[in-house]
Structure 1
Amino acid sequence: MVVYKDNATGIWRVIYCFTNWKGERKQTQKRGFATKREALVWEHEAMLKQGAKLDMTFASFFEVYEADKKQRVKESTWESKSHVIRTKILPYFGNRKIAEIEAKDVIAWQNELMAYHDEKGKSYPADYLKTIHAQLTAIFNHAVNFYNLPYNPARQAGTMGNEIPKEMDFWTKEEYLKFSEAMMDKPRSYYAFEMLYWFGMAKADYGEILG
């Protein structure tokens, strides 16, 4: 890698070469550093990411995680994951070396999130806390499974929050019979619903007998 100053603009840049997954030698650059120190810090992190060394910061490993995972999920799913990570995880762990984060650090992070209240006094819902923790766990799992991180501190710390059961609406027998009458002129749909409804009722009755 080469770090140098653009005399025309006074801005520092880094030019570096790397070998991609096809074995091809590539060259790229990063511009916009106000000082040489900033350029050197970025250069060091880039070298660690290229070599997949876990001496890198958590924020740098998130970029590795993003490159590995983003194309494997729906765009909307990734946007949701990324928002949680960037707003609730990176501000706390971003500058820490990922290999040095311990379970006690995760617990301190959990406690801070669970104690949070906005200007109206509202805290984070329990299911949202669980979702946040799941994203941290997923990143550490990726580091364990593919980059030789010794263990997952988020898993060791244990989760926070919990899932809120979703309410389910069920037809009463009378409601279903009214519905089925309206469906009789559509035989295929009628018999399909008949099987689904009455088979479900039979399973429920059988469950009550066993219980």
Structure 2
Amino acid sequence: MPVYKNEEKGTWYTSFYYTDWQGNRKKKKKEGFKLKREAQDYEREFVKMYAGSCDMQFKSFVKIYLQDCKTRLKQTTYSGKVFLIESKISPYFGEMPLNAIVPADIRRWQNQLINDNRNYSQTYLKTVNNQFSAIFNFAVKYYNLRNNPVRICGSMGQKHADSMEFWTIDEFRKFVACVEDKPASKLIFELLFWTGIRSGELLALSLEDFDFENLTLSINKNYARLSTEDLILTPKTKKGKRVISISPFIAELVQNYVKLKYAYEPNERLFEVTKFYIAHEIKRGCKLSGVKKIRVHDLRHSHASLLIELGYSPLLVSERLGHENIETTLRTYSHLYPNKQKDLAEKLQKLYHLDE
């Protein structure tokens, strides 16, 4: 594995041939290495990566994995995946050969995260672990890695939070009265609480999404901010694209808000703010009103709990929230539905004795 010295610059470089994934023979040159060993290591790792050898370094395989993900995921999803891998996984395993990572290594990594003084939530730990497992699943399926050591080791964290925070109508009214000094904030929280839409769906709304005659709201896009760029994307799930009914008071609130704007361009975003703004405003409103602190997403839970309290079925709640399937709704909110087992048994008893 010869490498060469650039006498003029006092650095090393490597120049070699390799075969790409299509079977084409190509030449690769890389300059600027301070040490001969660094140039040799680069060439060795590069060849392993393109040969698909499982003894390549974990960080090299991550490049292959992310390259595949980039063509299949939304920009925001991809960006989140990159951040999670680079911040929580690669610092620990980056230099290790992929096929040398064993369950004991993963167990130590899990314990380190579990005991971290940043006190990560159980759902976050689960997400990180799932991402790590996905990388090895990819290696097993496409690069002949013998097994997935994360799966052998077992999971950490849990899929759903132990408790769910939400506001009652009285708590919401106390809160919203304290943010009505900002018309945009008031309408944002009214919509989130009374419709149950996601904050990204709300921030993508334009006036054209409202049908004031038929009292409906079309959810057909999602807002996200990546670096400094505002993005309008497709809904989070297939069922996320939906039309929901709105009450007359919601229609009136929206129309009154639009009147306050001196100009409005067709298909312009109704709220030209970010998720950071909404998070700041919910903290401000909680502090002023004295109601318990909840997350912005908990307003969605508040709407769902209100519908359940009013007696609406899981199917209707699922359709209104845009869940991918009713199982998601039941798994998330089943504990809020009253236990009707006793009532069911009593009704069957009455039916049994109906002819007596």
TM-score (norm 1): 0.77
Q: Distance in 2 between matches of 1:9 and 1:139?
A: 39
What is the number of equivalent residue pairs in this alignment? 192
Amino acid aligned to 2:81: K
Within-5 A mapping of 1:109-148: 109-117=109-117, 122-148=118-144
Name the SS for the 1:161 alignment partner. Answer: coil
2:2, 2:40 within 8 Å by CA — same for their partners in 1? Answer: no
Q: Distance in 2 between matches of 1:64 and 1:139?
A: 10
Taking a change above 3 Å as real, the CA distance of residues 151 and 210 of structure 1, as seen in their structure-2 partners, is farther
Q: Distance in 2 between matches of 1:189 and 1:41?
A: 61
Within-5 A mapping of 1:184-203: 186-187=213-214, 189=216, 193=245, 201=311, 203=313
Amino acid aligned to 1:55: D
Q: Distance in 2 between matches of 1:43 and 1:75?
A: 31
Which residue in 1 is equivalent to 2:154? 158
Q: Distance in 1 between matches of 2:344 and 2:105?
A: 47
Q: Distance in 1 between matches of 2:74 and 2:312?
A: 38
Which residue in 2 is equivalent to 1:55? 55
Q: Distance in 1 between matches of 2:167 and 2:15?
A: 60
Q: Distance in 1 between matches of 2:70 and 2:245?
A: 40
Q: Distance in 1 between matches of 2:100 and 2:29?
A: 29
Within-5 A mapping of 1:6-155: 6-117=6-117, 122-155=118-151
Q: Distance in 2 between matches of 1:76 and 1:107?
A: 30
Name the SS for the 2:145 alignment partner. Answer: coil
Q: Distance in 2 between matches of 1:71 and 1:80?
A: 15
Taking a change above 3 Å as real, the CA distance of residues 26 and 210 of structure 1, as seen in their structure-2 partners, is farther
More helix by share: 1
91-100 or 15-24, which moves further after superposition? 15-24
Amino acid aligned to 2:156: M
Query: Displacement, 1:34?
Result: 0.8
Taking a change above 3 Å as real, the CA distance of residues 113 and 15 of structure 1, as seen in their structure-2 partners, is same
Name the SS for the 1:47 alignment partner. Answer: helix
Taking a change above 3 Å as real, the CA distance of residues 145 and 169 of structure 1, as seen in their structure-2 partners, is farther
Amino acid aligned to 1:186: E
Q: Distance in 2 between matches of 1:142 and 1:210?
A: 48
Q: Distance in 2 between matches of 1:6 and 1:38?
A: 14
CA RMSD across the alignment: 3.2
Gaps of 5+ in 1: 172-178, 180-184
TM-score (norm 2): 0.47
Q: Distance in 1 between matches of 2:71 and 2:7?
A: 39
2:3, 2:13 within 8 Å by CA — same for their partners in 1? Answer: yes
Deviations 1:90-126 (A, max 9, x none): 1111111111111111111100111111xxxx41222
Large movers: runs of 4+ above 6 Å: 168-171
Amino acid aligned to 2:111: N
Percent identity, aligned pairs only?
36
Query: Displacement, 1:150?
Result: 0.8
Which residue in 1 is equivalent to 2:280? none
Which residue in 2 is equivalent to 1:182? none
Q: Distance in 1 between matches of 2:105 and 2:344?
A: 47
Query: Displacement, 1:169?
Result: 7.2
Which residue in 1 is equivalent to 2:178? none
Q: Distance in 2 between matches of 1:33 and 1:41?
A: 10
Query: Displacement, 1:166?
Result: 5.5
Taking a change above 3 Å as real, the CA distance of residues 14 and 201 of structure 1, as seen in their structure-2 partners, is same
Amino acid aligned to 1:105: D
Q: Distance in 2 between matches of 1:202 and 1:78?
A: 36
Q: Distance in 2 between matches of 1:52 and 1:24?
A: 15
Q: Distance in 2 between matches of 1:158 and 1:146?
A: 22
Taking a change above 3 Å as real, the CA distance of residues 116 and 151 of structure 1, as seen in their structure-2 partners, is same
Amino acid aligned to 1:149: L
Taking a change above 3 Å as real, the CA distance of residues 113 and 189 of structure 1, as seen in their structure-2 partners, is closer
Taking a change above 3 Å as real, the CA distance of residues 166 and 21 of structure 1, as seen in their structure-2 partners, is farther
Name the SS for the 2:12 alignment partner. Answer: strand
Query: Displacement, 1:201?
Result: 4.5
